[in-house]
Every structure is written in C-alpha cells, then in structure tokens.
Chain A
Amino acid sequence: MSANFEPNVVAFLCNWCSYAGADLAGTSRVNYPSNIQIIRVMCSGRVNPLYVMNALQQGADGVLVSGCHPGDCHYMEGNFYARRRLGMLKDLMEFVGVDPKRFHMSWVSASEGHKWKEVVEKTVEDAKEAGPFEGFRRRQIDW
C-alpha cells in the first residue's frame, strides 16, 4: 500500500439527522476529508445489508452508515432495526474476512456538524489503514 493512498468511502446518511448534520458541517465551514461519497436515504433502517456488500463490490474501500440517535428516529424505530441488522452484518463480514475497519456505523444528529467531521475522519483514517479493498471487489476482465 502506498503512503498516499486515498480511499473511497461510501456513506449512507439518513435524510432527517445525519444528512442534515453533514449539511450543517458544510454551512459551518468545517473541514473534513473529501474521500467520502454521500448517498442520502430516507432512514438508516432503509439500508439493506446488500447495499453495503454492493458498495464494496463496486470499488468502495470503506462504508459508513449513519442515522439518528436511538429514540430520535423520524420514523420512531427505523434506526433500532438498522442497529440490529448492521451489527449482525458487521459480525458476519468480520467472520468471512472483511476487515472490520472497513465498515462503520454512527449516530449523528442534525446539530452535530462537528461530530460528523470526527466520524468522517475516523472512517477515512480506518479505511486508509486497511488499504485498498481487494477482497471480493468486482474485477474487470479484459478479453
């Protein structure tokens, strides 16, 4: 791994808290790494574990899922389901040999622009440490 490797990190943010949090970080002129590609979803409970798999297959080096704090979900309980499912997914991916540094989950509320910066910094740093993801990435075959 080269020292100046810049990872691709895909982030799934819930519309109501984390996306607004990231927005706040932007309007507050908070500097955070630009390696992150944000995909807005309506709720962290919407994040199908296959999204995470697909992101890794298609070239992401790390994945972040972020939602409202427990109890603050716009849909009352979506993030509780997300916590259970993605917690299981993290265990499973670790068991089949995907570095746990590649997948993170966080709670970021709409007012936590600075927490968002910390979360992104941590995620990107971890993805950098883990290096380019070669595991089960989809490979282009040159015929």
Chain B
Amino acid sequence: MKMDLEQLRKTAAEVAAREEVKYLVGWKQGTYGYRVAPAFVEDAAGAAELIFSPLCTANLATYLTLAEQLPVPRGGEPDDRKVALMVKGCDSRAVTQLLVEKGIERDEVVVIGCPCPGVVDAALLAEKYPETEEPAEMKWDGENFLLIRGGEETKIARNEILAEKCRLCRYPNPVVSDIMLGEEVETWDLAEDEGVQELENRDVDGRAEYWAEQFDKCVRCYSCRNVCPLCYCQDCILDRLNPTWVNRSVNFSENTAFNIARAFHLAGRCIECGECERVCPANIPLGKLNRKLAREVRDKYDFEPGVDPDAEPFQASFKPDDPEDFIL
C-alpha cells in the first residue's frame, strides 16, 4: 500500500479550509516513542503535521460523540458546521453504526477514508523493540513493517507485531467515505480466533475460573467505556445512583456485573476496533467478550453491525424466525 503523505496532507488542508468544516480529526506524531496523538486541525496550516502510519491505532470516531455540546447562547446561532474525520476500515464501521443508531447524522460529518493494511500492537512492539524517548516513525513495506528511529531502519515481519483485531479484520477498507485516500487494499486471510475458541472448548467451570481471574483485576476506571466510539449514552447506567444498576464498589461481584453489562450493551453494536482492550490498564481481554458476542450475532441472527447504514439496530429489532431453541 502506498499511502502518500503529501496527498493526505493536501486533502486534509483542503477539507479543513472549507467553510462548512469546523475541524478535522486526524492522527499526528506523539511526544515520545511509539505514541500517536489525535490532531484537531482547524485550518490548512495545521494539516502539515498529520500522519497515517501503522502506529495510528486509535479509533477517532469516538470524538464525534465525545465533543462537548455547549448550550447555544441566547440570541446566538447553533454551530452546525461539519466535523471531518479520518477513518480506517474499522473506524468507518463505527461511523456507520453511529448513523444506524442516529448518534450522528450523515450531513454532520465529512469522512476521509484511509484504506488500512493493518496496524501494529504497540505493546507487542515495545516488548520486542523497547520504546525510547525519541519519537519513532513507522511505515508499511509490502509484507513487513518498517520502523524508522534515529535514522535507522528496521524491518519487522508483519505477523510478528500485527494487532489482534487486524488479524481478524474483514473490512480493511472504509465502508463509508466522502473522500478516499490512496488505493483500496486487498483483504487478507483471516486468522482463527484462537482466544475465543480456546475458551469455548473449556467447560463452564473452566470459563468461570478464567473470567474470575480477569474480572478480579478490573479497577473500574471505565476507560473501556470512555474510549468506545459506541458508548455514548448521556445517562450511562454505570453513573446512575438511583436506581443503582451496578454498584460502584470494586469487588469481584460488581466487576463481573459491570463487565457483562458493558459487553451486553455492545451486543450487535460492537464493530471490533479493539480500543477497549488496548486502553485497559489491567489488560483484561475485553476483545474476547466482544468478538464472542459479535460471532453469535453473525451466526445466529445473520446480522453484522456497522456495514449497512440503513439497517435496523440489532437490539431494537427482531425477526419472527429468530432462534428460540433455548426456550423451554
């Protein structure tokens, strides 16, 4: 894949300079190591720092609903300018799902699609090539990743550091876009979802033991909720005190209830961008929960979230012939 940075910056500058665009959200070099930060570009000049590299893991679609909605001052006009957003394949599914749920309207966003040949798992990368203070650059190079640091280039095999979500990715090309950057990439052979399969092969007690160990680690920071592009309820049950759906105390019982509730709320909505798992400070494999549910939804209900903007939301619709083999 040849993602031309020049073309990206030129397009971004053009979009950001448009009258109808409030700001453009993209990626820029972080302050150190493998960090990549979100960039909010308001004018053409700001576009010069934008990048798109295998380190751009973050799903920027979350900023669409995260943006603060200030009340309109008396006599003022509401700011209904658009937000421009750079998306990878998985991020574009989040945008589509937001459209399905009417979280955003189509004319509120300008989607700039970046076909993505797969991003790296920064934790895995840092394990093998320790992070230094100096900001590192990365590039796609055919079947490899190219790590550029201190004027030195290191070739790293793709499979060595490819993020788990990308191994299982079926939509590397944006499913929705106004402007497409570069050429579409070819889909690749999917890896087996070993993590989920291994758990499915255990008996119920084995799974209970596994998840007990995982949920016990949870510190209830709610990072998984905050980073999720599809967790945007203004009145979240986790913040509610009356009625208290999930107690705030950090113990195994409440942690389990919280994690099940979180996963369930994303059933038929999760687009598997893997952000929750990436940001989890306790390294809980939340992706396994999400992928398991996504697979059930796909196999049993023949539904895939974030693909068709005209679809009915999964949990707010039904088919008369939904499976009911579990009913007594």
Chain A residues engaging chain B, CB cutoff 8 angstroms: 49-50, 53-54, 57, 70-71, 77, 80-81, 83-85, 87-100, 104-107, 119, 122-123, 135-139
Contact = CB atoms under 8 A, between A and B. Distances in A.
Contacts of B293: 88, 91-92
B208 A87 contact: no
Contacts of A53: 257, 260-261
A86 B208 CA distance: 20
Contacts of B322: 80, 83-84, 87
Contacts of B209: 97
A87 B324 contact: yes
Interface in B184-210: 199-200, 204-210
B253 A138 contact: yes
B237 interface: yes
A91 B200 CA distance: 11
A90 B325 CA distance: 12
Given A87-B323, A93-B260, 5 more contacts: A53-B260, A54-B245, A70-B320, A94-B204, A100-B204
B212 A122 contact: no
A88 B297 contact: yes
Contact of A95 (B199, B268, B320, B327): B199
B257 A136 contact: yes
B320 A87 contact: no
A138 B244 CA distance: 14
Contact of A92 (B212, B252, B267, B316): B267
A63 to B, nearest CB: 13
Contacts of B251: 139
A97 B212 contact: yes
B315 interface: yes
B320 A57 contact: no
B204 A97 contact: yes
Contacts of A96: 207-208, 211, 256, 259-260, 289
B196 to A, nearest CB: 8
B292 interface: yes
B301 interface: yes
A97 B327 contact: no
A104 B206 CA distance: 22
B204 A84 contact: no
Contacts of B315: 81, 84-85, 88
B328 A50 contact: no
Contacts of A80: 318, 320, 322
Contacts of A92: 260, 263-264, 267, 289, 292-293
B328 A119 contact: yes
Interface string B26-58: 000000000000000000000000000000000
Given A77-B318, A97-B205, A84 B261 contact: no
A24 to B, nearest CB: 18
A90 B326 contact: yes
Nearest to A64: B328
A31 to B, nearest CB: 19
A137 B257 CA distance: 10
Nearest to A139: B253
Contacts of A91: 292-293, 296
Contact of B327 (A49, A100, A106, A135): A106
26 contacts: A49-B261, A50-B245, A57-B254, A70-B320, A80-B318, A80-B322, A83-B322, A83-B324, A84-B314, A84-B315, A87-B322, A87-B324, A88-B293, A90-B326, A91-B296, A92-B260, A92-B267, A92-B289, A95-B199, A96-B207, A97-B207, A99-B204, A135-B208, A136-B256, A138-B253, A138-B254
Interface in B252-285: 252-254, 256-257, 259-261, 263-264, 267-268
Contacts of A122: 328
A123 to B, nearest CB: 8
10 nearest A-B residue pairs (beta carbon): A97-B208, A136-B256, A80-B318, A97-B207, A106-B328, A136-B253, A96-B211, A138-B253, A88-B267, A91-B296
Contacts of B247: 138
Contacts of A119: 328
A107 B326 CA distance: 11
B292 A95 contact: yes
Contacts of B264: 49, 88-89, 92
